[in-house]
Structure 1
């Protein structure tokens, strides 16, 4: 299995194959007209765009951290597979095995939010029972996100599922506005895409990496105004993107992605031009 690996500062990052969906491009780009977004990101004749769901394994300080959890396996009905455009289920366990690891070797899982396409992989089906995929891991979830996960509203109940939180609740640790998981690896609450959405900031040896998760799901969402119709609080997304992208570029940051089907990592200059990148290899 081909693994995309990248070293930055003292951190080793590996993207694990967590699944592939094809969703409506209009929904993914909100009010942006197709003649504009279609120049920036590939689409098919059905107006669908490819979106990966690839967790990032971060190895640092003798710990193994997973950012996001993938689509999982056997977690969707046939109807859900059609509706969500699922083309490929998770191969996270196989990817870990290719590195000589098992799910029990994961120490920490960082969840930017708990929508099904990010957290299905936290739960596995074994002997007809739902069990934690990463049984030894502490799972970090922003406190407002966890509260809504357990008591979703009329809109969010379509993506926050009891089967995704009840099996793991003993492993979850919540936090407020900011939390340092390990030295240089910090979670920041942004809201926007969901009430408790968070991003991951990683800094080591003078290198800065920002994982903006679903407030910038692909490199084509670089424009702060290009936000998804899926965002619960789009203006919050816009303000958070504007702040983090601007400050990140000023600091020479790398930007990583979970959903992008083209790039793993991108670096922009202040004109918004891509000046360095790592493309996906599958």
Structure 2
């Protein structure tokens, strides 16, 4: 299996293969008219767009850190597979095997939020029992996110599943506005997509990367006003992008993606021109 890798100073980022879905383009681009967004991102005759769910393995400071967890395997019913447009299930374990690693080699998991398409890969169904995949890892989740995960509301209960938190609850550590994971690696609460949504900031050797997660799920969502219909707090998404994306571009940041089916990561200049792009293999 061929995996994409990118050095960031002393850090190494490797994209694992966590699955592929196809969701409604209108939902993914909210109020943006299709004639606009369809010029920026591929779509099929059913108005669906391809969305990967590929975790990033971050090797830094002697630790192996996973950002997000993938779609998982055998976690969806046939109805859910149809509704979520599942094309490919997770190959995270095979990806790790390609690198000579096992799930037990993961030290830390950074969860930007706990929606099913990010959290399903945390849990596996083994002999009819759900258990933690990355059993030795500390799992970091923002405190508001973790609270809603366990007690979802009428809107969020379709994406926060009890079977995704019970098997891992003893591994979870929560944080408030900011968490320093390791030197050069931090998580920052943004809200927006969900109340407890967070992003990941990585800096090493004079290089900066920002993992915006679902505030900017694809390169086509760079515009601050292009937010998802799925966002629970769209104005917070807009404010978060105004702060982090605009400053990141000024600082020469590499923006990494979990969902983008075209690019793994991109870098823009202040004229919004693409000056670096790592393609999905």
TM (norm. structure 1) is: 0.99
Q: Write out per-residue CA displacement over residues 106-164 of structure 1, whole angstroms, 9 at most, x where no aligned residue.
A: 00000000000000000001111000000000000000000000000000000000000
Q: 2:70 is paired with a residue of what secondary structure?
A: coil
Q: Write out per-residue CA displacement over residues 81-102 of structure 1, whole angstroms, 9 at most, x where no aligned residue.
A: 0000001000000000000000
What stretches of structure 1 move > 6 A for 4+ residues in a row?
A: none
**Counterpart in the other structure of 1:246:** 246
Corresponding position: 1:166 with 2:166: yes
Structure 2 segments unaligned to the other structure (5+ residues): none
Map 1:186-265 → 2, pairs under 5 A: 186-265=186-265
**Counterpart in the other structure of 1:270:** 270
| Cα distance, 1:273 vs structure 2 | 1.3
Q: 1:39 is paired with a residue of what secondary structure?
A: coil
**Counterpart in the other structure of 2:121:** 121
| Cα distance, 1:237 vs structure 2 | 0.1
Task: Select between 266-275 and 112-121 the one with higher mean Cα deviation.
Answer: 266-275
**Counterpart in the other structure of 1:98:** 98
User: How far apart in 2 are the matches of 1:66 and 1:118?
Assistant: 12
**Counterpart in the other structure of 1:40:** 40
User: How far apart in 2 are the matches of 1:213 and 1:201?
Assistant: 11
Q: 1:267 is paired with a residue of what secondary structure?
A: strand
User: How far apart in 2 are the matches of 1:214 and 1:101?
Assistant: 28
User: How far apart in 1 are the matches of 2:83 and 2:246?
Assistant: 35
Q: 1:242 is paired with a residue of what secondary structure?
A: helix
| Cα distance, 1:176 vs structure 2 | 0.4
User: How far apart in 1 are the matches of 2:268 and 2:25?
Assistant: 23
Root-mean-square deviation (CA), in Å? 0.4
Q: 1:131 is paired with a residue of what secondary structure?
A: strand
| Cα distance, 1:276 vs structure 2 | 1.0
Corresponding position: 1:13 with 2:7: no
User: How far apart in 1 are the matches of 2:132 and 2:124?
Assistant: 6
**Counterpart in the other structure of 2:182:** 182
TM (norm. structure 2) is: 1.00
Q: 1:264 is paired with a residue of what secondary structure?
A: strand
User: How far apart in 1 are the matches of 2:277 and 2:84?
Assistant: 29
Q: Write out per-residue CA displacement over residues 13-51 of structure 1, whole angstroms, 9 at most, x where no aligned residue.
A: 100000000000000000000000000000000000000
User: How far apart in 1 are the matches of 2:246 and 2:98?
Assistant: 37
